[in-house]
Structure 1
Amino acid sequence: MSKNYLRSTYFAIFLIVAIIEFIWYVDRSNRDFAAFLLALLQNDFTTTFSETSKGQSFNELHSAFNQITQKFKTISSEKEVQHIYLESLVEHVSVGILSYDEKEKIHLMNGALKNLLNKPQVLYLKGLEGIDKRLLNTIRHIKPGENRLVKIKLSNQLLQLSLHASEFKLHAQYYKLVSFQNIKNELDANEMDAWQKLIRVLTHEIMNSVTPISSLSNTLYEIIEKENKKGTLNQDTIQKVLTGLDAVKSRSAGLQSFTEAYRNLTRIPPPNFKEVYIKDVLKRIETLLRPNLENVDFRIAYDDESIKILADTDLLDQVIINILKNALEALEDSDNPKILITVNSQEKTKISITDNGPGIDEDKVDQVFVPFFTTKRGGSGIGLALSKQIVRLHNGTLQVESVPGQGTSFIIEL
């Protein structure tokens, strides 16, 4: 009887210990599992679980936890790297990119767009209203897949923007993506090519017509003179014919000269590039024009006097001299004439030639590089068109910024 009692006691104690051990095991497992899930929920992939000294079953469980945590850590790291890559890619592209939601809250505005619009980060689309209301209206109403052209003036500079839109949903959230590209240089290049083709055709046809007329008038003039010497023609008739032929000859020569001037636009020789100091180029031009600059406050400012460029100095001199002569003509009636040339170099070398003359009317600024267009009496409208063509051959750009009543700047970027 006592043995049975003793056995029952031992069994009860063993059962109690087993139950306590089981409860501890379940509680420990639950706590570890809860800690594991909580770490995943909080994206904390640094939590690790000991894989030794806990017993085989705990070691295996903790090993599985650690492997899963490491897998999530790897996935998270890959996503972060991909996000940084895509973010860098968006910032690197030269096309402006804007993304906003249905409440017009801006989620993305890359560096190219900030530089293009000269605007820091904007929180809502309405913040672009201060730049140009037409631009804001176009962004709001452009349809997915549609292309729009918008012309705006920003910091006295004309921009011709090409906008393209698309839309998408991400986690049930609507987004509209708009790309911006300033295509003014491309449009200017195409326009200049079109003008060159037109001028080539016109000058060819005019010269074909004028040359025979000029030749014929010379021949007739000589015949009349010979006959006049022989005394076989009436003096009054001879005088009338000679006067008429002289007029034809004179106008033919004038028309040939006029046509030849426009031919220059299509006859620019290929640039002979060589490395030169921009300071030497400007010093030589200043010396050449010094007699014209005596009554002008003329200054040249350099960020770095050792800036070098690849250029055909003969052609580049022609561009800068033409711009300076235009500036001098604009300053003829100014009380305190000033011309400032600034030179700086970042990604490209920028040469800005600024005068404090009367400026150019806003409706004419966009036409100054168009062949035949001129604001000067007796001007041919060739100088600036030729200058822009020369700069294009240098793979550069020539732009104008002007404020009526304050002055004009011509900016050469090479």
Structure 2
Amino acid sequence: MVYKRFSVGVAIRVGLILANVVCLAFIFARTDLFFSQLVLLFILSFQIYNLVHFVTQTTRDLARFLQAVRHQDYSVSFADDAGTHPAFQELHQSFQGAINAYKEVEAQKESQYHYFKLIVEHVSAGIISLNSKHEIVLINKAAEQLLDVQNIVSWKQLQSKRNSFTQAVDHWLRGGSSLAEVVIEGEKRQFSVGVNPVILLGEPYRVVTFSDIKNEIEGKEIEAWHKLIRILTHEIMNSVTPLSSLTETMLMIVEQEDGNQKPLAEITEENLEDIRLALKTIQKRSRGMLHFLNDYRQLTRIPTPQLAPVNIGNLLASVSRLMQGEITKYKASIYVLPVPPDLTIQADAKLLEQVLINLLTNSLQALEDVVNPQIELNAITQDSKVIVAVADNGKGIEADKLDKIFIPFYSTKPAGSGIGLPVSKQIMHLHGGNIKVQSQTGVGTKVELRFPIQTVTFR
């Protein structure tokens, strides 16, 4: 429609110019019509100007539209142009529609930016964004409060005030996370720092997130102490209460009501037998207390791992041979699945043997009274980890007890000491790994020892 109107407008103007030229041709040489010739020449000039102006109107409007978009000047309006030729009204409407659409998009971007900024300002974690020139693009209030700094605009400023924090960030140029100890006004704070590199519009940025975990760590430590104290109190009270009762009974046998010693003539053979039995009970309970304290000492005195290359296949074969006597005693079968011959990690072989012996002992005890008892040892690599698995088809662990099995002195077995799994977990932690347990009652239990491929020792 726009094109048709434009073509008709051009055709009419060209036709009028031709008609004017023809009239000039007829009266060109006549001196008596000199004034008429001047009028026609003036009209012809106006017609040519009008044609050029009409033809270039589209170019001017398009240039004005593109300049507005380029400079994001959305105050430009095509809707209120007075005297606009009908041939360009539809074009102007399209331009105005595009301008309005850009306005709406810009308004949405602005509102999203303010919404994002509001969220960033109200999160409890510190957030800092750095560009490739080490300039701080964004820093929220939480970051300023955690670092106790204000009006920081450059990374160098922050380095001069909080060097230990910036060192932790600069250590992870390609991304990563770590713990950083920062001294602020003489107070040590533990920060969990994460660095994430991003590319935005072709420019590299680093987004640094961090939070103060000192209070969380202290809270967990206090909770762990309370839990340990409850366990120790429970065990000690269980031992001391009967000892106190037996001691009181023996005193009643050998003392009179006034607190003086009874004459030997009043002490019968039956009294002596009661005292002997009480002393045996005290001796037995005392040995139990010593055994408990020895377990506690074992739990708190795990040696630092002496790292060396450990071939997983050889380790599993060695442990299975070592436990063969116990396996035969329980009439169970053990299967060591094929392991890649070059599967090796940096670890302490003796400590890992202790962990595997603990796990195999637990599995054997769970296989008691089970038809066709079996244990399976396996090792694989998965997601940058080496996983050593011990699986059995035993009784399994009840779901409500599964989250308590790593609590020291907690045991699902009546005669269990409750230190095997906690010790194993500590040993794995010292190797930079962890333990994952999956169990289903009546189906069996699978315990996975997960090692990072590049195993390190935490000092």
Once residues 209 and 174 of structure 2 are traced to their aligned partners in structure 1, the CA distance between those partners, rounded to angstroms, is 11
- Describe how 1:159-238 pairs up with structure 2 within 5 A: 159-226=189-256, 228-230=261-263, 232=265
Aligned residue for 1:43, secondary structure, equals coil
Could you tell me which runs of 5 or more consecutive residues in structure 1 were left unpaired when the two chains were aligned.
Answer: 234-244, 253-414
8 Å Cα contact 2:195-2:208 kept in structure 1: yes
8 Å Cα contact 2:128-2:209 kept in structure 1: yes
Letter in 2 for 1:46: S
Indicate the RMSD between aligned Cα atoms, in angstroms. 3.4
The aligned counterpart of 2:168 is 138
In the alignment, which of 129, 145, 151 is matched to residue 99 of structure 1? 129
How big is the shift at 1:76?
1.3
Cα deviation digits, residues 302-332 of structure 1 (max 9, x gap): xxxxxxxxxxxxxxxxxxxxxxxxxxxxxxx
Once residues 84 and 202 of structure 1 are traced to their aligned partners in structure 2, the CA distance between those partners, rounded to angstroms, is 55
Cα deviation digits, residues 191-230 of structure 1 (max 9, x gap): 1221111111111111122222222322333333249332
In the alignment, which of 20, 24, 27 is matched to residue 49 of structure 2? 20
Aligned residue for 1:228, secondary structure, equals coil
The aligned counterpart of 1:398 is none
How big is the shift at 1:130?
4.2
**Larger of the two Rg values belongs to structure:** 2
Q: How many residues align?
A: 237
User: Compared with structure 1, are the counterparts of its residues 7 and 179 closer, same or farther at alpha carbon in structure 2 (3 Å cutoff)?
Assistant: same
Once residues 172 and 183 of structure 1 are traced to their aligned partners in structure 2, the CA distance between those partners, rounded to angstroms, is 34
In the alignment, which of 121, 130, 139 is matched to residue 151 of structure 2? 121
Once residues 25 and 231 of structure 2 are traced to their aligned partners in structure 1, the CA distance between those partners, rounded to angstroms, is 126
Aligned residue for 2:209, secondary structure, equals strand
Once residues 24 and 133 of structure 2 are traced to their aligned partners in structure 1, the CA distance between those partners, rounded to angstroms, is 84
Is 1:80 aligned to residue 113 of structure 2? no
The aligned counterpart of 2:27 is 6
Once residues 3 and 166 of structure 1 are traced to their aligned partners in structure 2, the CA distance between those partners, rounded to angstroms, is 79
8 Å Cα contact 1:162-1:182 kept in structure 2: yes
Once residues 4 and 73 of structure 1 are traced to their aligned partners in structure 2, the CA distance between those partners, rounded to angstroms, is 55
Query: Kindly, what percent of the aligned residue pairs are identical?
Result: 33
- Describe how 1:336-355 pairs up with structure 2 within 5 A: none
Letter in 2 for 1:230: P
Once residues 219 and 4 of structure 1 are traced to their aligned partners in structure 2, the CA distance between those partners, rounded to angstroms, is 148
Once residues 59 and 7 of structure 1 are traced to their aligned partners in structure 2, the CA distance between those partners, rounded to angstroms, is 40
Is 1:43 aligned to residue 72 of structure 2? yes
Letter in 2 for 1:40: V
Aligned residue for 1:151, secondary structure, equals strand
Q: TM-score, normalised by structure 2?
A: 0.46
Aligned residue for 2:261, secondary structure, equals helix
Bigger RCO of structures 1 and 2 (CA < 8 A, at least 6 apart): 1
The aligned counterpart of 2:440 is none
Letter in 1 for 2:77: T
8 Å Cα contact 2:198-2:206 kept in structure 1: yes
Once residues 230 and 29 of structure 1 are traced to their aligned partners in structure 2, the CA distance between those partners, rounded to angstroms, is 131
User: Compared with structure 1, are the counterparts of its residues 184 and 66 closer, same or farther at alpha carbon in structure 2 (3 Å cutoff)?
Assistant: same
Once residues 195 and 110 of structure 2 are traced to their aligned partners in structure 1, the CA distance between those partners, rounded to angstroms, is 27
User: Compared with structure 1, are the counterparts of its residues 27 and 143 closer, same or farther at alpha carbon in structure 2 (3 Å cutoff)?
Assistant: closer
User: Compared with structure 1, are the counterparts of its residues 75 and 132 closer, same or farther at alpha carbon in structure 2 (3 Å cutoff)?
Assistant: closer
The aligned counterpart of 1:69 is 99
The aligned counterpart of 1:365 is none
Once residues 25 and 207 of structure 2 are traced to their aligned partners in structure 1, the CA distance between those partners, rounded to angstroms, is 85
Once residues 36 and 228 of structure 1 are traced to their aligned partners in structure 2, the CA distance between those partners, rounded to angstroms, is 116
- Describe how 1:357-376 pairs up with structure 2 within 5 A: none
Once residues 22 and 219 of structure 1 are traced to their aligned partners in structure 2, the CA distance between those partners, rounded to angstroms, is 127
How big is the shift at 1:168?
0.7
User: Compared with structure 1, are the counterparts of its residues 105 and 4 closer, same or farther at alpha carbon in structure 2 (3 Å cutoff)?
Assistant: closer
In the alignment, which of 155, 164, 186 is matched to residue 185 of structure 2? 155
User: Compared with structure 1, are the counterparts of its residues 220 and 140 closer, same or farther at alpha carbon in structure 2 (3 Å cutoff)?
Assistant: same
